[in-house]
Amino acid sequence: MKYEKLISDFKDKKISALARMITLVDNEEKDGIEFLRENYDKRKESFRLGITGPPGVGKSSLVNHLINGFAKKYKQVGVIAIDPSSPFTGGALLGDRLRMQKAFEYENVFVRSVASRGSLGGLSTSTENISQLMEIFGMDLIIIETVGVGQAELDIMETTDAVIVVLVPESGDSIQAMKAGLMEIGDIFVVNKSDREGADRAIEFIKSSLSFKKTLKDKERPVIKTSALKDTNIDNLISVIEKEKKLMTESGDLKIKKEYRNEKEVKDILRDLFIKSIDKYLNNIENTNISPYEKAEEIFKKTGINFTEDLWKKR
């Protein structure tokens, strides 16, 4: 597909064009990144919903049911399913998409599996760019499901507007979640597979844990039990999500979150560009007796940027 035709089809809201453009962006190809730059101001104020939790808690099955509900509420729903990477190709294994059969029943739902490519945060490094593409395309809601590595999930908090942490009745998963920091990043907590023994006990355990881990504004964070297998309490979960979105909008928290995300992205891009620009200087440093601080100052000065001692101070 020629690039001009691709752009035309994208503007005509053809899903095939969105899929192709995502491939370009995911592969960091010049045309894809250039399209993002030129169309950044055309983004819709989409609501980004993150779904995370330890492996095996039924995140994908839960998303499948959420799709069924949200497809009837929104004109366009996008889903980014972060899949484990193939050790041979680096591509997504597509396991999540196989569990999201509801998506194929709706023309207004688009699911894209993206390889994690070893990202420790459970997100692909291109997740932010793909989310922006979906916003430019006009998605009202974007659901992002992590690979569930359970150790460095802060990425999902910084990429989305609200985070659902999915757990199961077994206490081991709940304790593991606390160690991973999931208790701090969640806006809504779901005990899935609640048809198992111990669901009520798990809910009390989570509520008790949350009482000791207040967020900055001390807001109450809902804890809900569901069963994706039996399609139990999904409507209630959707209502809670909609309420959270409304509260964030009215309080101004949603606007603040989006502004923070924009600032972080600028810093990340600056960091990447700067590191790439100093690689040639790093290769020329041979004296191992010079401290890392002195080496850093020396390289910094070579870039032509004015160096001052104030740069060492904490912000």
Question: pTM here?
Answer: 0.85
Predicted local distance difference test score (pLDDT) of residue 300: 78
Between β-strands 109-115 and 77-83, what pairing exists: parallel, antiparallel or unpaired? parallel
pLDDT classification of 182: cutoffs 50, 70, 90:
confident
Distance CA 197, CA 225 (A): 12
179 or 207: which leads in pLDDT: 207
Mean pLDDT of the chain: 82
How far is CA 54 from its chain centroid? 15
C-alpha neighbours within 13 Å on the C-beta side of residue 217? 9
Say yes or no to pLDDT of 211 above 90.
Answer: no
Say yes or no to pLDDT of 121 above 50.
Answer: no
Which of 79-93, 103-117, 179-193, 243-257 has the weakest average pLDDT? 79-93
**Backbone dihedral angles phi then psi of residue 202, each to the nearest 5 degrees:** -65, -40
Contacts of residue 214, defined as CB under 8 A and 6 or more positions apart, other chains included, come to: none
pLDDT classification of 8: cutoffs 50, 70, 90:
very high
Predicted local distance difference test score (pLDDT) of residue 84: 65
46 or 173: which leads in pLDDT: 46
Neighbour tally for 140: CB within 10 Å? 18
285 or 170: which leads in pLDDT: 170
Name all domains of the chain by residue range, CATH numbers in brackets: 1-37 (no CATH), 43-251 (3.40.50.300), 260-312 (no CATH)
Distance CA 235, CA 241 (A): 10
Contacts of residue 38, defined as CB under 8 A and 6 or more positions apart, other chains included, come to: none
Mean pLDDT (whole number) for 33-52:
95
Predicted local distance difference test score (pLDDT) of residue 98: 56
Predicted local distance difference test score (pLDDT) of residue 91: 43
List the 188-191 sheet strands across, edge first. 109-115, 77-83, 141-145, 47-52, 162-167, 188-191, 223-225
202 or 314: which leads in pLDDT: 202
